[in-house]
Amino acid sequence: MNKRIVSVLLVLFVVLFSVSTTFTGHFLQEATLDEAPLKGETFLVERVIDGDTLVIEGGERVRLLGIDTPETGQHLFSEATSILKELVEGKLVRLEKDITDRDKYDRLLRYIHINGMFVNTELLKHGMASTLFYEPDIRYQEEFLQAEALAREAGLGVWAFPAGDFCLGIFRLHYNARGDDNDNLNDEYVTFRNKCFHPISLDGLLLKDHANASFSFPDIMLANKSTVTLHTGSGKDSATDLFWGKTRAVWNNNGDSLTIWHKGEQLLQHTYQGFLKSNPK
Other beta carbons within 10 Å of 20: 10
> For the residues of 5-54, what is the DSSP string, one character each?
HHHHHHHHHHHHHHHHHHHHHHHHHHHHHHHPPPSSEEEEEEEEEETTEE
pLDDT of 17 higher than 50: no
- Catalytic position from the list 94, 107, 110, 193: 107
By mean pLDDT, which of 98-102, 162-166, 205-209 is the weakest? Answer: 162-166
In Å, how far are 25, 68, 96, 108, 139 from 100, measured between CA atoms? Answer: 38, 17, 11, 9, 11
Return residue ranges of the chain for CATH 2.60.40.1260: 167-272
State the fold for domain 167-272.
Immunoglobulin-like (2.60.40)
- Catalytic position from the list 71, 96, 148, 188: 71
- The pTM assigned to this predicted structure is 0.73
Instruction: Provide the β-strand partners of residue 111.
Output: 96
The phi, psi pair for 244, rounded to 5°, reads -75, -35
Residue 28: per-residue pLDDT: 27
Residue 210: per-residue pLDDT: 95
Tens-digit pLDDT profile for residues 22-60 = 322 332 233 222 333 456 799 999 999 999 999 999 999
User: For residues 61-84, b (16+ Cβ closer than 10 Å) or e, as one string?
Assistant: ebbbbbbbbbbbbbbbbebbbebb
136: preceding bond cis by omega (within 30 degrees): yes
pLDDT confidence tier of residue 5, bands split at 50, 70 and 90? very low
The phi, psi pair for 239, rounded to 5°, reads -70, -20
| Strand, coil or helix: 249 | coil
Q: What is the CATH number of domain 41-159?
A: 2.40.50.90
Residue 38: per-residue pLDDT: 55
Nearest to 65 by CA among 9, 1, 121: 121
Check if 110 is active-site: no
- Catalytic position from the list 63, 89, 143, 152: 63
Sorted by sequence, the CB contacts under 8 Å of residue 97 that are 6+ apart come out as 39, 40, 109, 110, 111
The bridge status of strand 205-209 relative to strand 256-262 is: antiparallel
Mean pLDDT estimate for the chain: 86
Tens-digit pLDDT profile for residues 55-76 = 999 999 999 999 999 999 999 9
Q: Do 179 and 281 meet the contact criterion of CB atoms below 8 Å apart?
A: yes
Check if 102 is active-site: no
pLDDT of 252 higher than 50: yes
pLDDT confidence tier of residue 162, bands split at 50, 70 and 90? confident
Return residue ranges of the chain for CATH 2.40.50.90: 41-159
By CB atoms closer than 10 A (0-12, 13-18, 19+), residue 184 is middle
By mean pLDDT, which of 9-13, 90-94, 191-195, 225-229 is the weakest? Answer: 9-13
Tens-digit pLDDT profile for residues 190-205 = 999 998 889 999 999 9
